[in-house]
Amino acid sequence: MAVVTKEKATVEKNSDRNSEKNTEKPAKASADKKEAVTPTQERLKALGMALDSIKKQYGDGSIMKLGDSRHTSVEVVPTGALSLDLALGIGGLPRGRIIEIYGPESSGKTTLAQHVAAEVQKLGGIAAIVDAEHAMDPDYARALGVNVDELLISQPDTGEQALEITEQLVRSGAVDVVIVDSVAALVPKAEIEGEMGDSLPGLQARLMSQALRKLTAVVAKTHTIVIFINQLRQKIGVMYGNPETTTGGNALKFYASVRLDIRKIETLKKDGSEIGNRVKVKVVKNKVAPPFRTAEFDIIYGRGINSAGCLLDIASEMEIVKKSGTWFSYKEERIGQGRDQARTFLEANPEMLKEIEGRVKAELSKKDK
């Protein structure tokens, strides 16, 4: 009997071992299935290794997902003209971009650029002007609101020197806006050292193309605004289409994120004497918002952009300031007959002006939402 029980016990043990082996096999098979790497996982792993290698070689921030970036929204600087800020679509000029302002003579190009410098200084930033034309007027800049004592200015001898100074200012990362006035005055060194009548075709265009290739990446990294003021020229022999063109070749047209065409449309008069110009700015190119919008505002001689007139125009469009016939009124109070009187009244009453500005901005923020 004892022998039989031993045999039974050994048979049971063997059967248990076989059952354990059988159960282990499907478990291992399922584990192998889980460990099997899909092609997508292999690609993601390879991408992760490539990203780590790039960051190790070029530093953090050299490559990232757009959603991970802190600067997905565009930072802006106001232009000093509320109507133009609205036309730009984002509330001003974008930081970290190249801007071109061009137009005929005495249209307000330098005035607009210096207003941007004044706005940067109001925000606690640093502004610099590379005055290639050697025509900077400190008194006029002061009248526009520029803190001349803190303004950086350079008056270079050659185009190469001007663009080299611009690049070094941008590369420092400490300057918020650099204004180059103007592209037409960026004369290559070879032309200055040559004689009158020497033909040097394409020299300035090549200089601008090389400078912009170097500037673009640095401008984006340092979030500096670089404003190039440009002049107009006439193409010879153009029978059809627009004969106007800007100086310095085509490179600036491609590299600029925003291009502003400023023109005088009306001369402002008071008591028979000229007191300023009404100008129209067309956003010819805009990489950060829809282009081809226009803005109009007044530039008063010796004072610059008339912000009160800008605000009055927008407030009356929004019906914050009511217009009945020729009379303007705010909160049942008449503020003037005709635009000039209403503007003068607002300039003399800064508290009301500030209140209207607050309501206009509140209305604009609602529209953005």
Residue list for the binding site for ATP: 103-110
**Cis ω on the peptide bond leading into residue 30 (within 30° of 0)?**
no
**Helix%, strand%, coil% for the chain, nearest 5:** 45, 25, 30
Contact 118, 146 (CB under 8 A): yes
User: Annotated binding site: which residue ranges?
Assistant: 103-110
Q: Which residues pair with 260 in a beta bridge?
A: 101, 283
Angle ∠(92,98,99) on CA atoms, nearest 5: 55
Q: How far is CA 88 from CA 159, 187, 212, 318, 368, in A?
A: 30, 31, 23, 18, 14
Query: Residue 176 class from Cβ within 10 Å (0-12 exposed, 13-18 middle, 19+ buried)?
Result: buried
Give the span between the Cα atoms of 250 and 20, in whole angstroms: 79
Give the span between the Cα atoms of 235 and 241, in whole angstroms: 11
Selection from 95, 139, 154 nearest residue 119 by Cα: 95
Give the span between the Cα atoms of 352 and 348, in whole angstroms: 9
Residue type, 148: V
Selection from 99, 249, 158 nearest residue 90 by Cα: 99
Neighbours of 354 (CB within 10 A): 12
